[in-house]
Amino acid sequence: MNDRRLATLRLLSLVGALFTALVIMAGAFTRLLDAGLGCPDWPGCYGALVVPDASSALLHSPDAPLEASKAWMEMIHRYLAGCLGVMVMALLVLAWPRRRKPGFPWRLMLMLFAALMVQGAFGAYTVTLKLWPQVVTLHLLGGLTVMTLFIWLHLRLRRVARGEAALAARPLGALMGVATMLLVLQLALGGWTSSNYAGIACQGFPTCNSQWVPDTDWGEGFHLTQTVGPNYLHGALHAEARTTIHLAHRLGALALTLALALVVIRRWHRREMRPWLLTLAGATALQVALGIANVLLWLPLGLALLHTAGAVLLVFSFTLVAWKQRHSRQAVKGRQRQTRGGWLHA
């Protein structure tokens, strides 16, 4: 592959990561405007590829009156997601001649394609299952997964361009593994909180509804086999169940913050990682502050959208720290020394 094609792949992967973040934000904006069912069908909108007029919409879906602004917001989100699919297809076409080269991330590209297809299915089921919270949560996690794969692909392609594709990588270690699991759990709890409309179920901070131990219903709050079929717009759970979800999200935030603080402290001695660790620490602090502000200010639209942006930034920065942990020159040299030492003492 010539340098120009490789440079194009690197650019596409970087643009793909940024564009995925834009799609996630567009999806969050759609959800916050209660526009997730602005088009009651999929992939079209009232049977059309663009938002139709009110009379055509009424003929197609008499039980779902057209709200043009919400329908357009939903369709813009779909158009953006479609552009992302075209971008991934372009990556695959450009990378095809290189797919068998040692060290080239062809399998990662296939994983990205598969993840995007699954994400598209989640998008369809979000509409057809009428905002079923399980699917809405998986849709958020799917979007962040696609963004992470784009970032990882870009970093892998940078290594290929520098001729470092075959260099060893260091294991992430137990602490990063625990932090990764807590991050995924907290993102899922955030999606579950949003999809069940539990963002202000706990009023006040640090207490919840003026209580340290509020009334909760864990069985109903995390009933993962809720009935499929009802319209879940504005939620369907009672107050104690929503309080439980919100409280779990707060506890998850505490656990994740402590884990990420440990990551920063334990890795701080490695100078080449400090800029990324500072970014991770800043993103964590910002996200915690935004979460508290959303509770105290009763979830205003702008702050709620920024909270989603904070989650995107947190995933972005954590991915960069994980990459630096695995692939920095110091880590690789240490890994190679350990390998040589093992041979010498065998």
Task: Point out the residues that are catalytic.
Answer: 74
Buried b (16+ CB within 10 A) or exposed e, 146-181: bbbbbbbbbbbbbbbeeeebeeeebeeeeebeebbe
Q: What is the dihedral of CA 40, 41, 43, 47, to 10 degrees?
A: -110
Distance, in Å, from the CA atom of 293 to the CA atom of 289, rounded to the nearest integer, reads 6
- Give the residue carrying structure tokens 């526009």: 35
14 and 68 Cβ atoms separated by less than 8 Å: no
Omega within 30 of 0 (cis) for the link into 206: yes
At residue 45, φ and ψ (nearest 5 deg) are: -130, 110
Side chain identity at residue 101, one-letter code: K
Closest CA to 330 of 257, 273, 262: 273
Distance, in Å, from the CA atom of 83 to the CA atom of 89, rounded to the nearest integer, reads 10
Question: Coil, helix or strand for 233?
Answer: coil
Distance, in Å, from the CA atom of 125 to the CA atom of 145, rounded to the nearest integer, reads 18
Structure token digits, residue 42? 């999929």
SS (H, E, C) 106-133: HHHHHHHHHHHHHHHHHHHHHHHCCCCH
195 and 131 Cβ atoms separated by less than 8 Å: yes
